[in-house]
């Protein structure tokens, strides 16, 4: 890496390969990252509901929280997520599909909890449960034309002020702290607190956690993604950050066709990650500086030869900020 010391630092990212090939589409798509720091604290269940964490043979749905609350998929299928990423969410048919994650000890939470999920409802024609523990202890669902959050078996519901629209993705979060006094139950939509109330009592430890239904009914008709459960109450700032944290590795939207890499390296924080945009792809060698052993064609850059070779393209960064990058490559031959 060569850094020229000026007010606006041009950075040269040199990829050095001996006798290998760099496949930019898949390789650099893995560059997206963001900081999670406190968003992993107290996380006892995290189901991305994507192809990387679904075994289509055994129907196992992976929990990546570290607590091994793996689920069993009953009929739900993979679909696109809120950014149009294929196989990055799960679709539920509204009549029989759900994911059962069991009732592991780490899910038997009584006093403080946060439920979080992304959901896109296909039809808002009746009550439909998004994430439900046992007999609504607690549960996120859709009821009376709004999103609802309950922690006492449905004795009372806290409603969103948002009236959701069909086929639109929403980030829905419910929090409850038995011991925090007034306004201890809250609901957030798309990172914003919309309602709160005061309730009492502990939540039940019995009953399996299900995604997409309550017991044998009230099935979600639509798509669900990135379900999380915490054994603590996330702050309003953390919930906003959770809402903003996800960025797809490679957008499929038309505005990003031929876009090699999308990683905003905003000057406000080293943790933000995401939108470096290179000046061109590997469809042609325009704007790339390369040694003679490199060839660029058809979206692939290939280096052949026994000596080290470099290929680079300047990308503007700001002085005084910390940036990170990574890349993958495919080695086709050689020792």
Please report, for the chain, the start and end positions of each structural domain, with discontinuous segments joined by +: 2-32+250-318, 37-245
Average pLDDT over residues 68-78: 98
Percent with pLDDT over 90 in the chain = 56
Residue 31 main-chain phi, psi, to 5 deg: -70, -20
What is the pLDDT confidence band of residue 309, given thresholds at 50, 70 and 90?
low
pLDDT at 22: 37
Average confidence score pLDDT of the chain: 78
**Whether residue 81 has pLDDT greater than 60:** yes
**Whether residue 245 has pLDDT greater than 70:** yes
**Whether residue 231 has pLDDT greater than 90:** yes
CATH number of 37-245: 2.60.120.200
**Whether residue 61 has pLDDT greater than 90:** yes
Tokens of 129: 């449960």
**Whether residue 54 has pLDDT greater than 80:** yes
Distances (CA, A) of 111 to 66, 226, 232, 306: 21, 23, 9, 63
Average pLDDT over residues 82-101: 96
pLDDT at 286: 61
Largest CA distance in the chain: 73
Distance CA 44, CA 69 (A): 8
């Amino acid at each position: 890496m060569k850094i020229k010391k000026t007010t606006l630092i041009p950075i040269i990212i040199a990829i050095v390969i001996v006798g290998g090939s760099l496949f930019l589409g898949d390789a650099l798509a893995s560059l997206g990252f963001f900081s999670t720091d406190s968003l992993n604290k107290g996380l006892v269940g995290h189901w991305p509901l994507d192809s990387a964490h679904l075994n289509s043979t055994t129907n196992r749905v992976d929990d990546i929280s570290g607590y091994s609350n793996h689920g069993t998929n009953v009929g739900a299928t993979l679909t696109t997520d809120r950014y149009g990423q294929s196989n990055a969410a799960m679709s539920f048919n509204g009549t029989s599909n759900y994911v059962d994650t069991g009732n592991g000890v780490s899910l038997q939470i009584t006093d403080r909890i946060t439920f979080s999920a992304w959901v896109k409802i296909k039809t808002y024609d009746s009550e439909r449960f998004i994430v439900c523990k046992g007999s609504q202890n607690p549960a996120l669902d859709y009821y009376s034309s709004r999103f609802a959050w309950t922690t006492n078996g449905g004795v009372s519901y806290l409603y969103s002020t948002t009236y959701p629209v069909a086929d639109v993705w929403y980030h829905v979060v419910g929090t409850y702290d038995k011991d925090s006094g007034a306004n201890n139950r809250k609901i957030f939509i798309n990172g914003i607190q919309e309602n709160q109330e005061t309730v009492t009592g502990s939540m039940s430890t019995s009953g399996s956690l299900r995604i997409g239904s309550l017991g044998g009914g009230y099935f979600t008709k639509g798509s669900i993604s990135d379900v999380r459960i915490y054994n603590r109450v996330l702050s309003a700032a953390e919930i906003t950050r959770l809402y903003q944290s996800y960025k797809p590795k490679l957008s499929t939207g038309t505005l990003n066709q031929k876009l090699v890499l999308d990683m905003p390296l905003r000057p406000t924080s080293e943790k933000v990650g995401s939108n470096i945009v290179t000046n061109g792809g590997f469809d042609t060698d325009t704007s790339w500086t390369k040694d003679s052993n490199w060839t660029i064609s058809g979206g692939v850059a290939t280096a052949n030869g026994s000596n080290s070779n470099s290929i680079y393209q300047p990308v503007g960064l700001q002085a005084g900020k910390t940036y990170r990058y990574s890349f993958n490559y495919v080695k086709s031959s050689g020792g």
